[in-house]
A and B are shown apart, each in its own frame.
Chain A
Amino acid sequence: MTLLGWAQIALVLACVLLAAVPIGRFIARVAAGERTFLHPILAPVERGIYALAGIDPMRGQDWRQYALAMLAFSAAGFASLYGLLRLQGMLPLNPQGFAGMPPYLAFNTAVSFVTNTNWQAYSGEVAASYLSQMAGLTVHNFVSAATGIALALALSRAFAAGKVSQLGNFWADLTRVTLYVLLPLSVVVGFAFVALGMPQTLGAYVEASTLEGAQQVIALGPVAFQVAIKHLGTNGGGFFGVNALHPFEGANALTTSLQIWCHQVISFALCVTFGAMVGNRRQGWVLLSVMLGFVIAATAAIYAAEAAGNPLHLAAGVDAALGNMEGKDVRFGQALVALFTATTTGASCGAVNAMFDSFTPLGGMVPLFLIQMGEVLPGGVGSGLYGMLIFVLLAVFVAGLMVGRTPEFLGKKVQAREVKLAMLAVLVLPATILGFAAISMVLPAALSSLANQGPHGLTEMLYAYTSAAGNNGSAFGGLTADTPWLDTTLGIAMLLGRFAFVVPVMAIAGSLAAKVKVPEGTGTFPTHTPLFAGLLAGVILILGGLQFLPSLALGPLAEHFVMLAAKTF
């Protein structure tokens, strides 16, 4: 680790925090349906969409109607994306003539993009036509992100007022977030990416004659716009197989820094939005500071592990100055790789600018653990905030048990129903991850997908289900993921991670919204203090993380000690 490296990390994080405040306040205004500077251009589009769909944006929905609308929209999105991927061979904008995706792969990919996971069992430049990338995958980058934000707004409204039954209108939230927040940011960032070297063309792949006379086919495409929303919406599905590590997707350190900014800024901004919506700005800052603390700690751990290098390789005569370089490109440096890795896994993005499979054991354990802690650090856009609020409810419940008072948060009493639903949501992740990973570790059909032997193989399998259930989408890339077993079970894990989590969350929102707001009294446990931030961090570590410790001991931790003993597989 160097001071220069930490200066890079500090600069990028400072830019994130500076922008999070105005963007967060802007989202609060959009959520309230207020007029913004973008309305002169975009309001006609918004009204047109409502008219076509036959929606009255002013009509509120209770939690069931809101959740049903979200599920219906996701189902329709899945069906259209599945159809597009299967039929891409017969559709236009397919200069390389790719065939339609086979059924298992199309199912896995469609689920993946609809759930904001963006797990990729295919490699973009060898399997997806330009039309699929644009009118299929890019669209779901937008709307799955907007869906997450809409759900977070609905839950925030439940805390904002007393005795209400309505949480807003899903269709209006979805449309407004897409049009006024995600679209304008993507256009600005997309042009910046092109200026920095990212292609944006519909032309076919180019054939070059190299200096040594060989032929090199160079994959191209409409990359920049898709990559902009891929990061802003914490989606993470790359245009190319190696994601943000491909020189066209991450041309230099400036591109990679801007990508880190993009996949952090909205998740942090939503804390500010939450503070504004519930009329308690300090509460928003407490949530934000817990998230930020984990991001910095995780970055330090990855940076230390990767910059030190692989002891086996150092002993074989490799210089230590650059750190562990297997699976990394030269241009980013270990500091930005560490920050990118911590933020992409903490934020449920899943883009990568280095290959986790070749990280040192401890360096690779950190991203795995960040996802296992529930994707709330800061989590995906929207999903991070609603996930964090579930942990907040559990934290006030734990505090209530300790001091013997009825727990409350922002004036809403937290009672048995909410805590039961919160635990139901929190248990989805370990049940899905550990259940599927355990079955796969004894199935020959699944084991043949592993690329590495020994404890590293276990980590590959564990990571796959963790990434799917956490709706992250990053991978220990060695795993051959496009098999019927993995395509199907990972698809199910993604569905459970998204919908089995969010339905209880919406039920909590409905039940909280109906409660009166109790004025703060002398017995109220304050939730906007550093003490509460510490308690919340502890609850995330213990309730979110501890259940995975045994599996981590068998995977990355075991591999670390085996490596120190100079054993290879």
Chain B
Amino acid sequence: MNTLLRPAITMVVALTAVTGLTMPLAMTGVAQLVFPKQADGSLIERDGKIVGSSLIGQAFTSERYFHSRPSATTEADPDNEGKTRAAPYNAAASAASQQGPTSESLLASVRERVEANGPAPMPADAATASGSGLDPHISPANAVRQIARVAAARGLPAERVQAAVAANTEGRELGLLGEPRVNVLRLNLALDALR
């Protein structure tokens, strides 16, 4: 038995020391030195205060801001123990709607979003909830549809808002991979910076 137990236990301990403690701690140290910004979560500061992360979306409801995609994240409900309530863009608990293709309530939500933000056809990313609940992006088509509203609310000419959208549109990686998209938080920060 000793020929089996001793190596089994020693191996678990030794490999934990190597792969579970030494290497991740060394990686953390080096990453903090070489890529400090990314290693800490690509945080964005304004006037010395952290306003978010360029990789994590935020909820926007004001007419003055471009709106992010619907988000299905939740948080613990303080009034109702053991239950959760809707809390869009809760970056401490990522989640998706998990509604299936023939879900009645998903279809109702989609109809509601199309009605509220018509006219149809509406870009799919605006009509559906993101998978992470934290999608930092919207599609360029979705952004274009919001330009007139944001320009009116801010009293800016549409061209200036359009230029801000263009400046915050990210292309495909290496010109090939992924989809073109607009970073909503960066775009809204750029708008706030406009005078």
Contacts and interface: CB of A to CB of B under 8 A. Distances in A.
A81 to B, nearest CB: 9
A361 interface: yes
A253 B179 contact: yes
Given A73-B8, A209-B51, A329 B123 contact: no
Nearest to B62: A212
Contacts of B130: 325, 327-330
A69 B172 contact: no
A569 interface: yes
A225 B124 contact: no
B110 interface: yes
B28 A201 contact: yes
Contacts of B127: 313, 316-318, 325
B23 A202 contact: no
A304 interface: no
Contacts of B176: 4, 7-8, 11
Given A126-B92, A178-B19, A253 B177 contact: yes
A465 interface: no
A139 B15 contact: yes
Given A206-B41, A318-B121, A134 B50 contact: no
What is the size category of the interface that chain B forms with chain A? 35 or more
Contacts of A546: none
A445 interface: no
A190 interface: yes
Given A191-B31, A219-B91, A326 B16 contact: no
B59 A214 contact: yes
A136 interface: yes
B58 A216 contact: yes
Interface string B159-191: 000000000000011101111010001001100
A73 B139 contact: no
Contacts of A355: 96-98, 131
A42 to B, nearest CB: 10
B56 interface: yes
A105 B106 CA distance: 30
A559 B4 CA distance: 51
B80 interface: no
A398 interface: no
Interface in B98-120: 98-104, 106-107, 110-111, 114, 118, 120
Nearest to B75: A217
A321 interface: yes
A357 B98 contact: yes
A331 B21 CA distance: 33
Contacts of B15: 49, 139, 142-143, 175, 178
Given A208-B50, A251-B55, A478-B99, A197 B42 contact: yes
Contact of B138 (A77, A217, A330, A563): A330
Given A126-B92, A171-B7, 20 more contacts: A54-B10, A69-B8, A183-B19, A187-B27, A194-B34, A206-B41, A214-B59, A216-B56, A242-B131, A257-B173, A316-B120, A324-B128, A325-B125, A327-B128, A329-B130, A330-B181, A355-B98, A359-B101, A459-B100, A562-B102
Interface of B: 4-16, 18-21, 23-25, 27-28, 30-32, 34-35, 38-43, 49-53, 55-62, 65, 69, 89-104, 106-107, 110-111, 114, 118, 120-125, 127-139, 141, 172-174, 176-179, 181, 185, 188-189, 192
